[in-house]
Amino acid sequence: MDNLSYHLHPLVRGRNESFGLLFYNTRDTLLTFVRCGDLLRIGPAAGGISRLEVHCGSEAERGKVRRVLRGLAQKGLIVETGVSA
């Protein structure tokens, strides 16, 4: 997605759910539910930090994923890690 890569903030725990994603922010103990289906999934942790995997095809799906990623980043739940290969 725009060749950017994202991972969960080190103080955030995340879980894949049937509706999408569930995040637990250990800084303020808030839960965040993301209804994105399979468009976003939490991938295996590398070095203890989980990454986000993006699975979208249509322009409408890409737009939705962009909005979701922007919101998660603004809440401090995910961090942009740079350009992916």
Q: Quick one: pLDDT at residue 57?
A: 85
Domain 4-83 has CATH 3.40.50: no
Percent of all residues in the chain with a pLDDT value above 70, rounded to a whole number: 93
- Tell me the average pLDDT across 10-32: 96
**Structural domain spans, the chain:** 4-83
Average confidence (pLDDT) over 28-36: 96
- pTM score: 0.86
**Residue 79 token pair:** 């961090």
Phi, psi values for residue 79, rounded to 5°: -130, 135
Q: What is the mean pLDDT of residues 43-48?
A: 81
What phi and psi, each to the nearest 5 degrees, are found at residue 52?
A: -95, 135
Q: How far is CA 30 from CA 6, 26, 35, 40, in A?
A: 20, 7, 16, 20
